């Protein structure tokens, strides 16, 4: 079935083309205009595709690589470094954890009293 569809498509659109391009002969402007579908594809490419590609490449190079990647990588680096430094506080001693929790609560309590 697929082979029959491919063959039929080839016969209809390729072999019996309605707009054959003569080999080596110049095509008159009106025929070329119709054959090339009024150059709409070329116009669309110039007006929309090319500017979009330029803007996309500019944003990729300047915004994505220059700003967003640096922010994301910086956050990852800061998280990694904070983990290395905070790791020293974690010693498995529950009484130390309780001491730090009470000291933090007292700090916030005194800080709140000093503000008001």
Contact present, 36 and 19 (Cβ < 8 Å): no
Q: What is the CA radius of gyration of the chain?
A: 35
Residues ≥6 apart with Cβ < 8 Å to 21: 27, 35
Is the separation of the CB atoms in 27 and 21 below 8 Å? yes
Helix boundaries (H) for the chain: 2-9, 29-35, 40-44, 50-59, 69-86, 94-115
What tens-digit pLDDT sequence spans the chain (116 residues)?
A: 888 888 877 777 766 655 555 566 777 778 778 877 888 999 999 999 999 999 999 999 999 999 999 999 999 999 999 999 988 878 888 998 899 999 999 999 999 998 87
Q: Are 39 and 33 in contact, with CB atoms under 8 Å apart?
A: yes
Q: How many CB atoms lie within 10 A of CB 36?
A: 13
pTM assigned to the model: 0.47
């Amino acid at each position: 079935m697929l082979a029959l569809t491919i063959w039929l498509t080839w016969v209809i659109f390729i072999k019996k083309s309605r707009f054959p391009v003569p080999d080596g002969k110049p095509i008159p402007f009106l025929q070329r205009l119709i054959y090339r579908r009024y150059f709409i594809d070329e116009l669309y490419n110039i007006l929309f595709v090319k500017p979009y590609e330029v803007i996309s490449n500019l944003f990729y190079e300047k915004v994505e690589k220059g700003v967003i990647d640096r922010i994301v990588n910086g956050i990852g680096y800061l998280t990694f470094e904070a983990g290395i430094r905070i790791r020293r506080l974690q010693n498995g001693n529950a009484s130390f954890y309780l001491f730090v929790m009470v000291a933090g609560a007292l700090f916030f309590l005194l800080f709140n009293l000093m503000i008001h």
